[in-house]
Structure 1
Amino acid sequence: MGEPLIELRGVSKAFGDRIVLDEVDLAIYPNEAVGIIGPSGTGKSTILRLIAGLIAPDAGEIYLKGQRRTGLVDEGKDPFGVGMVFQRAALFDSLTVDENVGFLLYQHSRLPRHQIRQQVERVLEMVGLPGTGDRYPSELSGGMRQRVSFARAILKNPDNPADNPELLLYDEPTAGLDPIASTVIEDLIRKLQCTEDGCTTYAIVTHQHSTIRRTADRIVFLHEGKVQWEGRVEEIDTTDNPAMRQFFTGSVDGPIRVAG
């Protein structure tokens, strides 16, 4: 498959006395759609934050295009940009859609305001929300807010192409949405993978079975801080891994302990 776009080697992370990730190995290759799944509290979102460079591992190494990361993303040493879509959109309520999507360009670029607005409108059109730039998050549905967060993640910086995302990270993008809104988001994730201006590589954390099956090509299953299973999405129904079978059937019996 060639060189990974991003690779975790023996990565561990703890918060206080709680070990969340325990010597995890994970590789994501160009043009992949990887689903990271598993029970709650097993470190899925932590992996995304490590990949994004928002937090550092306690042990192990992270490589981007074969280059070892030595700091966090704000130190500007990464060879490519990583975009992240957070749970429940994570928009600034006091800012308009335009200001939310273009936040980094307004704060950190030398582009004139009218040019940033053009860039923002272009990505809003890509996510199916043209003409919404002057509205506030409170005026939008949950699905629309999530699409605004997608636009923010894929916005490019003409002043610094090195910052432009080659990898998108989705953290529970359909959480709290009704089935129809979830389908819209799932279709959009796939659409953005195939557009020239989108990102052809992404990793998605989700609990929803429909989202797993419709957005991922390869699955990484985490449990008790370790990768317990990897495989193609079509292997979900044939695997004999007991934790995977319990996860997808929702059974209370199996190796995944049910919190009482």
Structure 2
Amino acid sequence: MAEPLIELKGISKSFGDALVLDEVDLTIYQGEALAIIGPSGTGKSTILRIISGLLAPDAGEIYIKGERRRGLVEDAEDPIGIGMVFQQAALFDSLTVEENVGFLLFQHSKLPRRVIRSLVNQKLEMVGLPRIGDRYPSQLSGGMRKRVSFARAIMSNPENPKDTPEVLLYDEPTAGLDPVASTVIEDLIRQLQCNEGGCTSYVIVTHQDSTIRRTADRIVFLYRGKVQWSGSLSEIDTTDNALIRQFFSGSVEGPIQVAG
């Protein structure tokens, strides 16, 4: 069995009267590609934010490489780097691509600008966007902005190797993209898992059937705040689980209640 990188134990989270996560247990292993799927509003993005340390759970424990995390990401340093790619890319419109990708190094390192520029160019090459460091986000297509956000997420800091992301979290990385652009992003996610300088483990939240099938090895299905099913990619077409069968068929008939 691969080494557990991240463990969630009994994680609960509410927003007002809405219980979004209800005593969720989840383990992320070294080297795996995990997809968290389920209907909208079931807490998938909330789990990513809790894993990343951007959001605190109401109850439960989080372990990063066996060490219990206390507080949020700014309260203590995790034993591994965890990068996050947000659904809307979340680039700074007033900064160039170079300044966006190298943002943490510009802000939190003493590296010379020429060194940061070289590191930025390496990451841009990895995501297939060489020589665009001087452009602004408004000059890029939606798919290009996504790839720039990937480059930023995998940026490493040679002054502090612990800052190098070992796990990447993708929140709906192909949302709003056409099928061809989605395929480019899906291929890139797999390439970054294999390439030196990328991340060997990742968790992806997605609704898109092609993205699930092309990027995931293991799948967790979240519904009504709980993990209702987990299995390998090959099992989604053979399982008798009614939730999975309804989700992938797109049927309005079944245990998943259709809003509205």
* Deviation readout 1:61-84 (Å, 9 max, x if unpaired): 000011100121112321011000
For 1:234 and 1:155, the matched residues in 2 are separated by 33
Aligned ranges 1:93-132 → 2 under 5 Å: 93-132=93-132
The one-letter code sitting in structure 2 at the alignment partner of 1:68 is R
CA shift at 1:97, angstroms? Answer: 0.4
CA contact (8 A) 1:246 1:252 kept: yes
For 1:220 and 1:133, the matched residues in 2 are separated by 37
1:236 corresponds in structure 2 to: 236
Unaligned 5+ residue runs, structure 2?
none
| 2:237 alignment partner, SS class | coil
CA shift at 1:136, angstroms? Answer: 0.5
1:249 corresponds in structure 2 to: 249
1:153 corresponds in structure 2 to: 153
CA shift at 1:214, angstroms? Answer: 0.2
CA shift at 1:95, angstroms? Answer: 0.8
CA shift at 1:88, angstroms? Answer: 2.0
1:219 aligns with 2:219: yes
Q: CA RMSD in A?
A: 0.7
1:31 aligns with 2:21: no
1:88 aligns with 2:85: no
TM-score, L = length of structure 2 = 0.99
Of 243-252 and 70-79, deviating more is 70-79
Aligned ranges 1:17-96 → 2 under 5 Å: 17-96=17-96
Unaligned 5+ residue runs, structure 1?
none
For 2:80 and 2:144, the matched residues in 1 are separated by 28
CA shift at 1:2, angstroms? Answer: 4.2
CA contact (8 A) 1:3 1:66 kept: no
Aligned ranges 1:167-182 → 2 under 5 Å: 167-182=167-182
* Deviation readout 1:99-126 (Å, 9 max, x if unpaired): 1101111111111111111110110000
The one-letter code sitting in structure 2 at the alignment partner of 1:153 is A
TM-score, L = length of structure 1 = 0.99
CA contact (8 A) 1:213 1:233 kept: yes
* Deviation readout 1:121-154 (Å, 9 max, x if unpaired): 1100000000000000111111100000000000
1:202 corresponds in structure 2 to: 202
| 1:105 alignment partner, SS class | helix
* Deviation readout 1:168-212 (Å, 9 max, x if unpaired): 000000000000000000000000000111100000000000000
For 1:230 and 1:86, the matched residues in 2 are separated by 24
| 1:90 alignment partner, SS class | coil
1:188 aligns with 2:188: yes
Consecutive aligned runs of 4 or more in structure 1 exceeding 2 Å deviation: none
The one-letter code sitting in structure 1 at the alignment partner of 2:60 is G
CA contact (8 A) 1:36 1:44 kept: yes
CA contact (8 A) 2:36 2:206 kept: yes
Of 31-40 and 108-117, deviating more is 108-117
CA shift at 1:225, angstroms? Answer: 0.2
| 2:177 alignment partner, SS class | coil
| 1:210 alignment partner, SS class | helix
CA shift at 1:222, angstroms? Answer: 0.1
